[in-house]
Amino acid sequence: MENQIKSSTNNPLVALVTGANQGVGYQIAKTLAENGYIVYVGSRNLSNGEKAAAEMGAQAQAIQLDVTQQPSISAAVVQIQKEQGRLDLLVNNAAIAHAGQPGRTLEDATAAGKATTASLDEVRTVWETNVFGVIAVTQAMLPLLRKSSAARIVNVSSGLGSLTWISDPACWAREHFGVVYAASKTALNAVTMAFAIELESENIKVIAPSPGFTATALNNFQGTDSVEVGSREPVQAALDTNRATASFTGPDGPLPW
């Protein structure tokens, strides 16, 4: 792959991937480790993270990280500071699609996200992870990112977050746009832009790749792409040092905001 940062054995690059014990986050962390990064595998449940990290090899290590809990975030900062002294890459991948029971179908989740009937409690729960968690983790990790010579922040988004796409009457996903998950990704895109604008003068790039419609626990495995295929764009975005800041991309190229 062109324009990648490949970590050297003498000075390995350091990455943190949130929600990395399964799905797209797992694939991102695994591929970064294969490219020589020291990878912190963020997981709410430490034992799940340890199992995932063990499968990724010696370059990966689990770190307990619940993006909705400030003490957990603060402890992760302390640990990375103590062990590595800096962070070169932050991948904000942790996300939830709904606040219902595991196994909820995509159709049920879509129905629950309708603007006119959605539960505000569910909206708050999903946004707590998908939006506020990203802000909290990014703010907390900035002192470590500022110690890198070329830090990058990758916020894993979704094509569903594109207001331009969704507003097109021909958009096939239009019926799936609601105030719970989809709107959280629109908000995440706005958060991405805000950080990108503010941090550009510090040479910290902030970008938003979309995995596409990937079959993961997020959508009860009803997506059309395998997790390996779905993780390609976020992985490329994480590795490509020439990727422009404030970019929003999907598997087929740039996406409209």
β-strand partners of 40: 16, 61
Measured distance CA(170)–CA(176) in Å, rounded: 13
Q: Is the dihedral of CA 139, 145, 150, 154 positive or negative?
A: negative
Helix (H, G, I), strand (E, B), or coil: what is residue 86? Answer: coil
Catalytic residue, from 26, 30, 37, 185: name it: 185
Helices 23-34 and 46-56, packing angle to 10 deg: 40
Is 26 a catalytic site residue?
no
Catalytic residue, from 26, 37, 40, 181: name it: 181
Q: Could you give the strand order of the β-sheet that contains 205-209, starting from the edge strand earlier in sequence?
A: 60-64, 38-43, 14-17, 89-92, 152-155, 205-209, 248-250, 253-254
Instruction: Give the DSSP H or E segment for 63.
Output: strand 60-64
Give the Cα-Cα-Cα angle 56, 70, 120 (nearest 5 degrees): 100
Measured distance CA(225)–CA(231) in Å, rounded: 9
Closest C-alpha to 89, from 23, 6, 21, 9: 6
State phi, psi for 8 to the nearest 5 degrees. Answer: -95, 155
Is 185 a catalytic site residue?
yes
Catalytic residues: 181, 185
